[in-house]
């Protein structure tokens, strides 16, 4: 007799550490390993419940007294760009997109280092070396792509000639219902082009062409300037209270801080919906 059993991963909780988004708060994550023959199905299922991937780990914020971090995604079919976003798209029309396998290159790493040194010199990734960078890109048990954006050979906007130039990169996971932007970085010399927003706009186009309904942006955190830009995208949904709901007015969401704002770990795990594995 054939029957189905749920895939049953083990869940763990990290030790508290300072929050990278909100000053004075402590961060804690609920996580599980992502490996084996069911990795893709587990990733698809948990990503719909607010989890994110980092190499071979799936995690979700589970802070003891804070529920500020909210997973965000864009409904591709309903998205309409703002006037500013249309200008960004036009400004970056000269970029060429190239989707490759998740394989790290020296050019990517050099761009990554320049991006961190300019914009996130005091962040948690500031000390990453080329081996750690390669692990971030290559250690993926699921369907992933590296999306590269290059500029053609030309005279630089600040003077001087250069050849074809790697300008932006995004590590992207492919779900059964969308694209997940795991991590992106870009040339700080061209920050005025709003390359971060352009990468999101282009992923919306990629998802639309592939017939995928969502683009997952990671976490939106009310009260965090670092994450505030995500609220500027139309048709945005957030995972709140165990379900996906339209963002609405960003001002309606608060970075809650209360010991009762987060369910106990055991209750959180019990509420997670797991995919089924076929057996006999």
Q: What is the pLDDT of residue 82?
A: 97
Q: What is the pLDDT of residue 99?
A: 96
Dihedral sign from CA coordinates of 153, 155, 157, 162: positive
Q: What is the pLDDT of residue 263?
A: 83
Which domain covers residue 60, as residue numbers? 3-69+254-279
Q: What is the pLDDT of residue 202?
A: 98
Q: What is the pLDDT of residue 156?
A: 57
Average pLDDT, rounded, for the chain: 89
Residues 189 and 233 in one domain: yes
Residues 202 and 259 in one domain: no
pLDDT band at 155 (very low <50, low <70, confident <90, very high): low
pLDDT tens sequence across 14-37 = 999 998 888 888 999 999 999 888
Residues 23 and 137 in one domain: no
Residues 114 and 98 in one domain: yes
pLDDT tens sequence across 189-235 = 998 999 999 999 999 999 999 999 999 999 999 888 888 889 999 99
Residue 128 has pLDDT above 60, yes or no: yes
Residue 134 has pLDDT above 90, yes or no: yes
pLDDT band at 280 (very low <50, low <70, confident <90, very high): very low
Residues 129 and 91 in one domain: yes
Dihedral sign from CA coordinates of 238, 240, 244, 248: negative
pLDDT band at 153 (very low <50, low <70, confident <90, very high): confident
Interatomic CA distance for residues 164 and 148, integer angstroms: 12
Percentage, residues of the chain above pLDDT 90? 68
Residue 257 has pLDDT above 70, yes or no: no
pLDDT tens sequence across 37-48 = 899 999 999 999
Residues 163 and 206 in one domain: yes
DSSP 8-state symbol, 67:
-
Query: For the chain, how many structural domains are there in total?
Result: 2
Residues 42 and 171 in one domain: no
CATH number for 236 = 3.40.630.30
Q: Give me the phi and psi of 155, to 5 degrees please.
A: -85, 130
Max intra-chain CA distance, the chain = 72
pLDDT band at 256 (very low <50, low <70, confident <90, very high): low
Interatomic CA distance for residues 213 and 156, integer angstroms: 37
Residues 120 and 243 in one domain: yes
Residues 39 and 173 in one domain: no
Residues 103 and 223 in one domain: yes
């Amino acid at each position: 007799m054939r029957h189905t059993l749920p895939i049953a991963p083990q869940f763990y909780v990290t030790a508290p550490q300072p929050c990278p988004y909100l000053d004075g708060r402590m961060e804690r994550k609920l996580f599980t390993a992502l490996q084996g023959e069911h990795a893709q199905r587990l990733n698809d299922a948990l990503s719909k419940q607010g989890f994110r991937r980092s190499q071979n780990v799936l995690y979700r914020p589970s802070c003891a007294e804070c529920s500020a971090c909210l997973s965000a995604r864009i409904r591709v079919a309903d998205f309409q760009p703002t006037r500013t976003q249309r200008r960004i798209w036009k400004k970056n029309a000269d970029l060429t997109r190239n989707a490759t396998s998740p394989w790290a290159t020296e050019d990517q790493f050099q761009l990554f280092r320049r991006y961190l040194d300019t914009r996130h010199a005091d962040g948690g990734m500031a000390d990453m070396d080329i081996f750690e960078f390669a692990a971030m890109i290559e250690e993926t048990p699921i369907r992933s792509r590296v999306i590269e954006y290059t500029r053609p050979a030309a005279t630089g906007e600040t003077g001087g000639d250069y050849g074809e130039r790697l300008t932006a990169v995004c590590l992207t996971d492919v779900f059964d219902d969308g694209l997940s932007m795991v991590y992106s970085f870009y040339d700080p010399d061209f920050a005025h082009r709003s390359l971060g927003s352009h990468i999101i706009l282009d992923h919306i186009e990629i998802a639309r062409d592939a017939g995928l309904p969502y683009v997952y942006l990671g976490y939106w955190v009310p009260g965090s300037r670092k994450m505030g830009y995500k609220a500027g995208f139309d048709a945005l949904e957030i995972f709140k209270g165990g379900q996906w709901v339209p963002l609405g007015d960003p001002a309606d969401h608060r970075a809650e801080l209360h010991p009762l704002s987060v369910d106990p770990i055991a209750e959180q795990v019990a509420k997670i919906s797991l995919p089924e594995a076929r057996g006999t």
